[in-house]
Structure 1
Amino acid sequence: MKAVILDFDGTLANTLPICYCAFKKVFREFDNRELTSEEIKAMFGPSETGIIRDNLCHHNKEQAIEMYYETYTEFHEDLVEHNQEIDDLLQYLKNRGVKLGIVTGKARRSLDISIKALKMEGLFDVVITGDDVTNPKPHPEGVFKALTDLGLEKSEAMFVGDSNADIQAGVQANVYTVGVHWLPDYQALEFTIEPDSIFNSVAEFHEFIKMGVPNES
Protein backbone atom coordinates (compact mmCIF):
# COMPACT_ATOMS: atom_id res chain seq x y z
CA MET A 1 0.00 0.00 0.00
CA LYS A 2 1.75 3.12 -1.26
CA ALA A 3 -0.90 5.75 -0.53
CA VAL A 4 -3.67 6.50 1.92
CA ILE A 5 -6.27 8.93 0.54
CA LEU A 6 -8.74 10.38 3.00
CA ASP A 7 -11.93 12.41 3.10
CA PHE A 8 -11.66 15.52 5.28
CA ASP A 9 -14.90 16.52 7.08
CA GLY A 10 -15.72 13.87 9.67
CA THR A 11 -12.64 11.81 8.76
CA LEU A 12 -9.48 13.91 9.16
CA ALA A 13 -11.07 16.62 11.27
CA ASN A 14 -14.25 17.08 13.28
CA THR A 15 -15.33 19.97 11.08
CA LEU A 16 -18.98 19.01 10.61
CA PRO A 17 -20.12 21.25 13.54
CA ILE A 18 -18.49 24.34 11.99
CA CYS A 19 -19.99 23.48 8.58
CA TYR A 20 -23.47 23.17 10.12
CA CYS A 21 -22.98 26.41 12.07
CA ALA A 22 -21.96 28.41 8.98
CA PHE A 23 -24.73 27.00 6.78
CA LYS A 24 -27.38 27.62 9.45
CA LYS A 25 -26.31 31.26 9.76
CA VAL A 26 -26.36 31.79 5.99
CA PHE A 27 -29.84 30.31 5.48
CA ARG A 28 -31.18 32.13 8.56
CA GLU A 29 -29.82 35.51 7.50
CA PHE A 30 -30.59 35.35 3.77
CA ASP A 31 -33.67 33.08 3.50
CA ASN A 32 -35.08 33.40 7.02
CA ARG A 33 -34.99 29.59 7.16
CA GLU A 34 -34.04 27.59 10.23
CA LEU A 35 -32.40 24.40 8.97
CA THR A 36 -31.49 21.38 11.06
CA SER A 37 -28.11 19.70 10.80
CA GLU A 38 -29.83 16.74 9.11
CA GLU A 39 -31.38 19.02 6.48
CA ILE A 40 -27.97 20.52 5.79
CA LYS A 41 -26.33 17.10 5.66
CA ALA A 42 -28.87 16.07 2.99
CA MET A 43 -27.47 18.87 0.78
CA PHE A 44 -23.89 17.57 0.99
CA GLY A 45 -22.18 16.50 -2.21
CA PRO A 46 -21.24 19.74 -3.98
CA SER A 47 -18.82 22.16 -2.32
CA GLU A 48 -20.22 24.76 0.09
CA THR A 49 -20.39 27.28 -2.75
CA GLY A 50 -22.36 24.76 -4.81
CA ILE A 51 -24.69 24.02 -1.90
CA ILE A 52 -25.45 27.71 -1.40
CA ARG A 53 -25.94 28.40 -5.10
CA ASP A 54 -28.21 25.37 -5.51
CA ASN A 55 -30.31 25.74 -2.35
CA LEU A 56 -30.42 29.41 -1.32
CA CYS A 57 -33.51 31.26 -2.52
CA HIS A 58 -32.07 34.75 -1.97
CA HIS A 59 -30.65 36.34 -5.10
CA ASN A 60 -27.41 37.57 -3.49
CA LYS A 61 -25.65 34.23 -3.42
CA GLU A 62 -22.12 35.66 -3.61
CA GLN A 63 -22.65 37.70 -0.44
CA ALA A 64 -24.07 34.59 1.24
CA ILE A 65 -20.97 32.62 0.25
CA GLU A 66 -18.77 35.32 1.82
CA MET A 67 -20.81 35.10 5.03
CA TYR A 68 -20.26 31.34 5.05
CA TYR A 69 -16.48 31.76 4.92
CA GLU A 70 -16.48 34.58 7.49
CA THR A 71 -18.45 32.40 9.92
CA TYR A 72 -16.33 29.32 9.15
CA THR A 73 -13.17 31.28 9.94
CA GLU A 74 -14.53 33.09 12.99
CA PHE A 75 -15.76 30.01 14.83
CA HIS A 76 -13.19 27.45 13.65
CA GLU A 77 -11.04 27.64 16.77
CA ASP A 78 -14.07 27.31 19.07
CA LEU A 79 -15.77 24.44 17.23
CA VAL A 80 -12.95 22.35 15.73
CA GLU A 81 -10.66 20.61 18.20
CA HIS A 82 -7.14 19.52 17.40
CA ASN A 83 -6.84 15.70 17.31
CA GLN A 84 -3.44 14.36 18.34
CA GLU A 85 -4.27 10.76 17.34
CA ILE A 86 -4.89 11.80 13.75
CA ASP A 87 -1.73 13.91 13.72
CA ASP A 88 0.27 10.92 14.98
CA LEU A 89 -1.31 8.63 12.37
CA LEU A 90 -0.46 10.99 9.50
CA GLN A 91 3.09 11.46 10.76
CA TYR A 92 3.54 7.68 11.10
CA LEU A 93 2.41 7.17 7.50
CA LYS A 94 4.69 9.98 6.28
CA ASN A 95 7.64 8.47 8.14
CA ARG A 96 6.95 5.12 6.49
CA GLY A 97 7.09 6.73 3.05
CA VAL A 98 3.36 6.33 2.42
CA LYS A 99 1.88 9.03 0.19
CA LEU A 100 -1.01 10.99 1.72
CA GLY A 101 -3.96 12.45 -0.16
CA ILE A 102 -7.24 14.25 0.46
CA VAL A 103 -10.37 13.86 -1.64
CA THR A 104 -13.05 16.13 -0.25
CA GLY A 105 -16.24 17.81 -1.39
CA LYS A 106 -15.13 21.01 0.38
CA ALA A 107 -14.08 23.96 -1.70
CA ARG A 108 -10.36 24.68 -1.53
CA ARG A 109 -10.94 27.94 0.34
CA SER A 110 -12.52 26.30 3.40
CA LEU A 111 -10.11 23.36 3.27
CA ASP A 112 -7.17 25.77 3.33
CA ILE A 113 -8.67 27.51 6.39
CA SER A 114 -8.93 24.19 8.22
CA ILE A 115 -5.54 22.86 7.10
CA LYS A 116 -3.85 26.03 8.37
CA ALA A 117 -5.80 26.13 11.64
CA LEU A 118 -4.99 22.46 12.36
CA LYS A 119 -1.33 22.86 11.34
CA MET A 120 -1.56 20.20 8.62
CA GLU A 121 0.25 22.22 5.93
CA GLY A 122 2.75 20.27 3.88
CA LEU A 123 1.51 16.83 4.93
CA PHE A 124 -0.40 15.88 1.78
CA ASP A 125 1.03 14.83 -1.55
CA VAL A 126 -2.22 15.41 -3.42
CA VAL A 127 -5.36 17.38 -2.55
CA ILE A 128 -8.54 17.10 -4.63
CA THR A 129 -11.36 19.44 -3.56
CA GLY A 130 -14.88 20.02 -4.76
CA ASP A 131 -13.47 22.77 -6.99
CA ASP A 132 -11.30 20.26 -8.85
CA VAL A 133 -13.96 17.83 -10.10
CA THR A 134 -16.97 17.93 -12.37
CA ASN A 135 -18.68 15.07 -10.53
CA PRO A 136 -18.60 15.14 -6.70
CA LYS A 137 -18.65 12.01 -4.55
CA PRO A 138 -20.25 9.45 -4.69
CA HIS A 139 -18.77 9.63 -8.21
CA PRO A 140 -15.20 8.25 -8.14
CA GLU A 141 -13.74 11.09 -10.24
CA GLY A 142 -11.90 12.63 -7.26
CA VAL A 143 -10.32 9.31 -6.27
CA PHE A 144 -9.25 8.67 -9.86
CA LYS A 145 -7.71 12.16 -10.08
CA ALA A 146 -5.78 11.57 -6.86
CA LEU A 147 -4.42 8.25 -8.16
CA THR A 148 -3.40 9.87 -11.44
CA ASP A 149 -1.63 12.74 -9.68
CA LEU A 150 0.19 10.28 -7.41
CA GLY A 151 1.11 8.07 -10.37
CA LEU A 152 -0.31 4.99 -8.66
CA GLU A 153 -2.49 2.04 -9.62
CA LYS A 154 -5.76 1.41 -7.79
CA SER A 155 -4.24 -1.63 -6.08
CA GLU A 156 -1.61 0.61 -4.46
CA ALA A 157 -3.94 2.93 -2.53
CA MET A 158 -6.83 2.95 -0.08
CA PHE A 159 -9.60 5.49 0.44
CA VAL A 160 -10.84 6.34 3.93
CA GLY A 161 -14.12 8.13 4.66
CA ASP A 162 -17.07 8.54 6.99
CA SER A 163 -20.00 8.93 4.57
CA ASN A 164 -21.91 6.68 2.22
CA ALA A 165 -20.71 8.89 -0.64
CA ASP A 166 -17.11 8.21 0.40
CA ILE A 167 -17.61 4.46 0.49
CA GLN A 168 -19.43 4.42 -2.84
CA ALA A 169 -16.68 6.51 -4.46
CA GLY A 170 -13.98 4.19 -3.12
CA VAL A 171 -15.81 1.04 -4.15
CA GLN A 172 -16.50 2.39 -7.65
CA ALA A 173 -12.85 3.38 -7.99
CA ASN A 174 -12.01 -0.23 -7.05
CA VAL A 175 -9.57 0.76 -4.30
CA TYR A 176 -9.41 -0.76 -0.82
CA THR A 177 -12.13 1.23 0.97
CA VAL A 178 -12.27 1.96 4.69
CA GLY A 179 -15.28 3.32 6.57
CA VAL A 180 -14.60 5.19 9.82
CA HIS A 181 -16.61 6.30 12.83
CA TRP A 182 -13.72 7.65 14.88
CA LEU A 183 -14.60 11.34 15.38
CA PRO A 184 -17.45 12.73 17.52
CA ASP A 185 -19.41 13.78 14.42
CA TYR A 186 -19.60 11.74 11.22
CA GLN A 187 -22.01 11.54 8.30
CA ALA A 188 -23.21 7.91 8.08
CA LEU A 189 -24.36 6.05 11.19
CA GLU A 190 -24.43 2.88 9.12
CA PHE A 191 -22.93 2.35 5.67
CA THR A 192 -25.39 1.34 2.98
CA ILE A 193 -22.53 -0.09 0.92
CA GLU A 194 -20.14 -2.39 2.74
CA PRO A 195 -16.56 -1.06 2.85
CA ASP A 196 -13.62 -3.47 2.97
CA SER A 197 -12.99 -2.51 6.60
CA ILE A 198 -14.68 -0.39 9.28
CA PHE A 199 -12.89 1.23 12.22
CA ASN A 200 -14.40 2.95 15.24
CA SER A 201 -11.14 4.39 16.54
CA VAL A 202 -7.97 5.87 15.10
CA ALA A 203 -5.96 3.49 17.30
CA GLU A 204 -7.60 0.44 15.67
CA PHE A 205 -6.79 1.76 12.20
CA HIS A 206 -3.24 2.58 13.25
CA GLU A 207 -2.74 -1.03 14.36
CA PHE A 208 -4.27 -2.27 11.11
CA ILE A 209 -1.79 -0.17 9.13
CA LYS A 210 1.14 -1.45 11.19
CA MET A 211 0.10 -5.06 10.49
CA GLY A 212 0.06 -4.43 6.76
CA VAL A 213 -2.91 -3.82 4.51
CA PRO A 214 -4.02 -6.54 2.08
CA ASN A 215 -3.62 -5.71 -1.59
CA GLU A 216 -6.84 -5.66 -3.58
CA SER A 217 -6.85 -6.10 -7.33
Structure 2
Amino acid sequence: MASSGVKIELKDVLIIKAIIFDFDGTIANTLPICYYAFQCVFKEFDNKNLSNEEIKAMFGPSETGIIRENLSNSNKDAAIELYYAKYSERHSQFVTPHKEIDDLIKRIKEQGLKIGIFTGKAKRSLDISLKALQMEGLFDVIITGDDVNEPKPHPEGLLKALSLLSVGKSEALFIGDSDADIDAGIRANVYTVGVQWLPDCHSMEFTIEPNSIFKSVTEFIDSMGIGETYEY
Protein backbone atom coordinates (compact mmCIF):
# COMPACT_ATOMS: atom_id res chain seq x y z
CA MET A 1 0.00 0.00 0.00
CA ALA A 2 1.36 3.43 -0.91
CA SER A 3 2.10 5.76 1.99
CA SER A 4 2.53 9.51 2.26
CA GLY A 5 4.75 8.89 5.24
CA VAL A 6 8.50 9.40 5.18
CA LYS A 7 11.26 7.07 6.29
CA ILE A 8 14.37 8.39 8.02
CA GLU A 9 17.91 7.09 7.49
CA LEU A 10 17.49 3.31 7.19
CA LYS A 11 14.62 2.95 4.77
CA ASP A 12 13.16 -0.05 6.58
CA VAL A 13 13.28 1.42 10.09
CA LEU A 14 10.72 4.17 10.41
CA ILE A 15 7.71 5.59 8.63
CA ILE A 16 6.41 8.88 9.96
CA LYS A 17 3.24 10.84 9.38
CA ALA A 18 3.98 13.90 11.51
CA ILE A 19 7.01 16.01 12.38
CA ILE A 20 6.96 18.12 15.55
CA PHE A 21 9.57 20.82 16.05
CA ASP A 22 10.92 22.75 18.98
CA PHE A 23 11.11 26.44 18.04
CA ASP A 24 13.95 28.44 19.65
CA GLY A 25 17.24 27.24 18.22
CA THR A 26 15.50 24.68 16.00
CA ILE A 27 13.15 26.47 13.60
CA ALA A 28 14.47 29.98 14.19
CA ASN A 29 17.64 31.48 15.60
CA THR A 30 15.71 33.35 18.28
CA LEU A 31 17.98 32.73 21.24
CA PRO A 32 19.84 36.06 20.78
CA ILE A 33 16.60 38.09 21.02
CA CYS A 34 15.52 36.02 24.04
CA TYR A 35 18.83 36.74 25.78
CA TYR A 36 18.60 40.44 24.95
CA ALA A 37 15.03 40.84 26.21
CA PHE A 38 15.77 38.99 29.46
CA GLN A 39 18.93 41.02 30.00
CA CYS A 40 16.91 44.22 29.63
CA VAL A 41 14.37 42.99 32.17
CA PHE A 42 16.86 41.90 34.84
CA LYS A 43 18.92 45.05 34.40
CA GLU A 44 15.88 47.32 34.63
CA PHE A 45 14.13 45.63 37.55
CA ASP A 46 16.89 43.90 39.56
CA ASN A 47 19.90 45.93 38.41
CA LYS A 48 21.62 42.68 37.39
CA ASN A 49 23.81 42.14 34.36
CA LEU A 50 23.16 38.52 33.40
CA SER A 51 25.22 36.57 30.89
CA ASN A 52 23.68 34.44 28.18
CA GLU A 53 24.67 31.33 30.10
CA GLU A 54 23.00 32.58 33.29
CA ILE A 55 19.82 33.18 31.35
CA LYS A 56 20.03 29.84 29.57
CA ALA A 57 20.23 28.13 32.98
CA MET A 58 16.74 29.50 33.73
CA PHE A 59 15.18 27.97 30.62
CA GLY A 60 12.39 25.44 31.06
CA PRO A 61 9.29 27.46 31.93
CA SER A 62 7.86 30.02 29.51
CA GLU A 63 9.23 33.56 29.55
CA THR A 64 6.56 34.63 32.02
CA GLY A 65 7.41 31.68 34.23
CA ILE A 66 11.13 32.50 34.11
CA ILE A 67 10.48 36.09 35.15
CA ARG A 68 8.04 35.17 37.91
CA GLU A 69 10.40 32.53 39.31
CA ASN A 70 13.70 34.39 39.04
CA LEU A 71 13.06 38.14 39.28
CA SER A 72 13.53 39.58 42.77
CA ASN A 73 11.54 42.73 42.05
CA SER A 74 7.89 42.34 42.99
CA ASN A 75 6.61 44.15 39.90
CA LYS A 76 6.49 40.99 37.80
CA ASP A 77 3.71 42.13 35.47
CA ALA A 78 5.59 45.25 34.40
CA ALA A 79 8.73 43.16 33.88
CA ILE A 80 6.83 40.75 31.66
CA GLU A 81 5.48 43.63 29.58
CA LEU A 82 9.01 45.00 29.18
CA TYR A 83 10.19 41.60 28.00
CA TYR A 84 7.59 41.45 25.25
CA ALA A 85 8.21 45.08 24.27
CA LYS A 86 11.94 44.45 23.83
CA TYR A 87 11.35 41.09 22.13
CA SER A 88 9.02 42.68 19.60
CA GLU A 89 10.82 45.94 18.86
CA ARG A 90 14.24 44.34 18.26
CA HIS A 91 13.10 41.06 16.68
CA SER A 92 14.05 41.99 13.12
CA GLN A 93 17.49 43.11 14.29
CA PHE A 94 18.30 39.83 16.04
CA VAL A 95 16.34 37.27 14.01
CA THR A 96 16.41 36.73 10.27
CA PRO A 97 14.58 34.12 8.16
CA HIS A 98 16.51 30.94 7.42
CA LYS A 99 16.07 29.85 3.80
CA GLU A 100 16.98 26.19 4.38
CA ILE A 101 14.47 25.83 7.20
CA ASP A 102 11.79 27.58 5.16
CA ASP A 103 12.52 25.10 2.38
CA LEU A 104 12.39 22.17 4.80
CA ILE A 105 8.96 23.17 6.06
CA LYS A 106 7.73 23.64 2.49
CA ARG A 107 9.00 20.18 1.52
CA ILE A 108 7.37 18.56 4.56
CA LYS A 109 4.02 20.15 3.78
CA GLU A 110 4.25 19.21 0.09
CA GLN A 111 4.85 15.63 1.18
CA GLY A 112 1.50 15.69 2.97
CA LEU A 113 2.92 15.20 6.45
CA LYS A 114 1.39 16.88 9.46
CA ILE A 115 3.63 19.44 11.11
CA GLY A 116 3.62 20.93 14.59
CA ILE A 117 5.49 22.97 17.18
CA PHE A 118 6.11 22.03 20.81
CA THR A 119 7.94 24.88 22.51
CA GLY A 120 8.51 26.19 25.98
CA LYS A 121 7.92 29.72 24.68
CA ALA A 122 4.82 31.58 25.72
CA LYS A 123 2.19 31.95 23.00
CA ARG A 124 2.62 35.71 22.92
CA SER A 125 6.31 35.63 21.99
CA LEU A 126 5.84 32.72 19.59
CA ASP A 127 3.13 34.68 17.78
CA ILE A 128 5.50 37.64 17.46
CA SER A 129 8.17 35.41 15.93
CA LEU A 130 5.84 33.52 13.59
CA LYS A 131 4.43 36.79 12.25
CA ALA A 132 7.86 38.39 11.84
CA LEU A 133 9.18 35.30 10.01
CA GLN A 134 6.04 34.95 7.87
CA MET A 135 5.32 31.49 9.29
CA GLU A 136 1.77 32.10 10.43
CA GLY A 137 -0.65 29.35 9.46
CA LEU A 138 2.02 26.81 8.49
CA PHE A 139 1.58 24.46 11.45
CA ASP A 140 -1.21 21.98 12.10
CA VAL A 141 -0.77 22.15 15.85
CA ILE A 142 1.12 24.47 18.22
CA ILE A 143 1.76 23.66 21.87
CA THR A 144 3.42 26.44 23.88
CA GLY A 145 4.57 26.78 27.45
CA ASP A 146 1.16 28.29 28.21
CA ASP A 147 -0.57 25.06 27.19
CA VAL A 148 1.06 22.66 29.65
CA ASN A 149 1.19 22.16 33.38
CA GLU A 150 4.63 20.54 33.21
CA PRO A 151 7.37 22.16 31.06
CA LYS A 152 10.08 20.25 29.21
CA PRO A 153 11.67 17.84 29.82
CA HIS A 154 8.24 16.52 30.83
CA PRO A 155 6.61 15.01 27.72
CA GLU A 156 3.14 16.44 28.45
CA GLY A 157 3.24 18.93 25.58
CA LEU A 158 4.57 16.43 23.06
CA LEU A 159 1.92 13.88 23.97
CA LYS A 160 -0.73 16.58 23.68
CA ALA A 161 0.53 17.49 20.20
CA LEU A 162 0.39 13.85 19.10
CA SER A 163 -3.16 13.55 20.35
CA LEU A 164 -4.28 16.70 18.52
CA LEU A 165 -2.59 15.49 15.33
CA SER A 166 -4.21 12.05 15.71
CA VAL A 167 -0.93 10.21 15.14
CA GLY A 168 0.69 7.47 17.18
CA LYS A 169 4.02 7.68 18.95
CA SER A 170 5.62 5.41 16.35
CA GLU A 171 4.38 7.63 13.51
CA ALA A 172 5.97 10.88 14.66
CA LEU A 173 9.33 12.56 14.77
CA PHE A 174 10.34 15.19 17.34
CA ILE A 175 13.16 17.59 16.49
CA GLY A 176 14.92 19.78 19.05
CA ASP A 177 18.22 21.39 19.94
CA SER A 178 18.34 21.03 23.72
CA ASP A 179 18.78 18.26 26.27
CA ALA A 180 15.27 19.07 27.51
CA ASP A 181 13.89 18.43 24.02
CA ILE A 182 15.70 15.12 23.73
CA ASP A 183 14.61 14.04 27.20
CA ALA A 184 10.99 14.94 26.47
CA GLY A 185 11.04 13.04 23.18
CA ILE A 186 12.57 9.92 24.68
CA ARG A 187 10.17 9.99 27.63
CA ALA A 188 7.28 10.25 25.17
CA ASN A 189 8.69 7.22 23.30
CA VAL A 190 8.90 9.21 20.06
CA TYR A 191 11.79 9.01 17.59
CA THR A 192 13.84 12.03 18.62
CA VAL A 193 16.27 14.02 16.51
CA GLY A 194 18.85 16.37 17.98
CA VAL A 195 19.84 19.23 15.69
CA GLN A 196 22.71 21.69 15.76
CA TRP A 197 22.00 23.46 12.49
CA LEU A 198 21.54 27.03 13.75
CA PRO A 199 24.41 29.18 15.07
CA ASP A 200 22.79 29.69 18.48
CA CYS A 201 21.42 26.26 19.39
CA HIS A 202 20.96 25.27 23.03
CA SER A 203 23.34 22.32 23.09
CA MET A 204 26.58 21.85 21.18
CA GLU A 205 26.74 18.42 22.77
CA PHE A 206 23.81 16.40 24.05
CA THR A 207 24.12 14.78 27.46
CA ILE A 208 21.14 12.59 26.54
CA GLU A 209 21.63 10.72 23.29
CA PRO A 210 19.00 11.37 20.59
CA ASN A 211 18.04 8.68 18.10
CA SER A 212 19.76 10.78 15.41
CA ILE A 213 21.81 13.98 15.27
CA PHE A 214 22.02 16.38 12.32
CA LYS A 215 24.31 19.36 11.97
CA SER A 216 22.76 20.73 8.78
CA VAL A 217 19.28 21.05 7.33
CA THR A 218 20.48 19.65 4.01
CA GLU A 219 21.80 16.52 5.70
CA PHE A 220 18.43 16.03 7.39
CA ILE A 221 16.49 16.50 4.14
CA ASP A 222 18.73 14.00 2.36
CA SER A 223 18.39 11.47 5.16
CA MET A 224 14.62 11.83 5.27
CA GLY A 225 14.23 11.28 1.54
CA ILE A 226 11.53 13.93 1.58
CA GLY A 227 9.66 13.87 -1.69
CA GLU A 228 9.86 10.09 -2.04
CA THR A 229 6.99 7.67 -1.44
CA TYR A 230 7.61 4.19 -0.08
CA GLU A 231 5.64 0.96 0.01
CA TYR A 232 4.86 -0.77 3.26
User: Which category of TM-score, normalised to the shorter sequence, fits these structures?
Assistant: over 0.9
Quickly say closer, same or farther: Cα 1:16–1:122, change in 2 above 3 A: same
State TM-score, norm by structure 1. Answer: 0.97
Q: Distance in 1 between matches of 2:130 and 2:183?
A: 25
Deviation at 1:56, TM superposition (A): 0.3
- For residues 183 and 5 of structure 1, what CA distance do their matches in structure 2 show? 17
Q: Computing the radius of gyration over CA atoms, which structure comes out larger, 1 or 2?
A: 2
Separation (CA, whole Å) in 2 of partners of 1:211 and 1:13: 21
Which one of 111, 118, 143 corresponds to residue 128 of structure 1?
A: 143
Query: Matches of residues 179-194 of structure 1 in structure 2 within 5 Å?
Result: 179-194=194-209
Structure 1 stretches of 4+ with a deviation exceeding 6 A read none
Note the residue ranges of structure 1 that are not aligned, 5 or more in a row: none
Q: Could you tell me which of 45, 54, 57 is aligned with 2:60?
A: 45
Counterpart-to-counterpart distance in 1, 2:215 and 2:133? 22
**CA distance in structure 1 between the partners assigned to 2:222 and 2:139 by the alignment:** 21
1:158 aligns with 2:173: yes
Aligned residues: 213
Q: Match of 2:158?
A: 143
Distance 1:55 1:132 in 2: 21
TM-score (norm 2): 0.90
Q: Which deviations, in whole Å up to 9, do the C-alpha atoms of 1:157-179 show, x marking residues without a partner?
A: 01000000000000000011000
Q: Deviations over 1:112-140 (max 9, x none)?
A: 00000000011100000000000000000
- Tell me the secondary structure at the aligned position of residue 101 of structure 1: strand
Unpaired runs of 5+ residues, structure 2, are: 1-15
Distance 1:58 1:156 in 2: 46
Three-state SS of the structure 2 residue aligned to 1:54 is helix
Shift of 1:212: 9.1
- The answer to whether the aligner puts 1:89 opposite 2:104 as a matched pair is yes
CA distance in 2: counterparts of 1:91 and 1:130, whole angstroms? 25
| SS at 1:102 equivalent | strand
Contact 2:111 2:226 in 1 (8 A): no
Higher RCO, 1 vs 2 (CA within 8 Å, ≥6 residues apart): 2
Q: 1 or 2, which has the higher helix percentage?
A: 1
